[in-house]
Every structure is written in structure tokens, then in C-alpha cells.
Amino acid sequence: MQKHTAVLEKRETEKSMQDFLDSGKIYCANCIHCKLVPTPAESSPGQFYLRVRCDAGKWKKKLGGEKIYKYFTVTRRSIDCCDSYESMGDDDNFISDLRNNLPIRDELYDK
Ligand code: SF4
């Protein structure tokens, strides 16, 4: 059942991603400033989660401070425009490949 739910979630994500690809927005995942960072798992010493951050400092919390996101959500990070955006190449193919290879949930990794 859990696998079936995951497949449905992935299909829904693929549909919304295709809608998004057609919208012409900027994907942060395709920007040179979008950085993958390991974050230690406090409850599991020796393991870490993957997070993404904008090293141009564009991702902010409402009350200040830097906002970071879970890696598996990186293809959802998009904006209409950004004065610091630096494309790393072909958006559509890159995002499609990334979407197909991302984990479907927040996963723990061993060091
Ligand atoms: S610089 Fe702009 S486009 Fe690039 S990751 Fe940051 S917010 Fe996204």
C-alpha cells in the first residue's frame, strides 16, 4: 500500500512538474547558487540528511534568517524571476532528469 501511495504521489508530482515546465518559471535547482548540503541527523549519529540552500541568500524565513529545504523537494523551488539566477544549462531536460532521480521522501544517508 505504501508503495502504491508513493507511485501515485510520484505521478501527481510528474503531472504538476509538466504543468510547471510549460509555465516558463525559473527553477532554482538549475541555478548555480542552489547548493546541496549535508545536515547531521541529530537523532542518528553518523548519518545525515540532504538539504538545499541558496548561496546568494535569496531564501529567507518570514521572520528573518536563512531558509533551507529538504533535497527531495528541490524541484518545487521556483520563482518568476531572480536577479541572481545563473542557469547551469538546459532547464527542461535537467529538471526532468532530476525529478526522475530524486528520492520521494526525506532520506537518511550514512557518512
Ligand atoms: S539565486 Fe535565485 S534562482 Fe538561484 S537558487 Fe537563489 S533564489 Fe533560486
Ranges of each domain in the chain:
2-110
Ligand 1 pocket test, pick from 28, 37, 68, 98 with the greatest ligand atom count within 8 Å of Cβ, gives 28
pLDDT computed for residue 91 by the predictor = 74
Ligand 1 pocket test, pick from 54, 59, 66, 87 with the greatest ligand atom count within 8 Å of Cβ, gives 54
Per-residue pLDDT, averaged over 26-51, amounts to 95
- Ligand 1 binding pocket includes 29 (Cβ within 6 Å): no
Rounded (5°) CA angle 104-13-11? 90
107: left (phi over 0), alpha (psi -120 to 50) or beta: beta
Q: Which atom of ligand 1 is nearest to the CA of 32?
A: 4
Model confidence at 73, pLDDT cuts 50, 70, 90, reads very high
- pTM for the full model? 0.77
Give dist(CA 97, CA 48) in Å, integer: 24
Q: Is the Cβ–Cβ distance between 86 and 93 less than 8 Å?
A: no
pLDDT computed for residue 10 by the predictor = 58
Residue nearest atom 8 of ligand 1, based on CA coordinates: 28
Query: Which of the 8 DSSP states describes residue 44?
Result: S
Query: What's the Cα-to-Cα distance from 46 to each of 14, 98, 110, rounded to whole Å?
Result: 33, 26, 6
User: Considering the chain, what percentage of its residues have pLDDT values greater than 90?
Assistant: 64
- The residue with greater pLDDT, 96 or 83, is 83
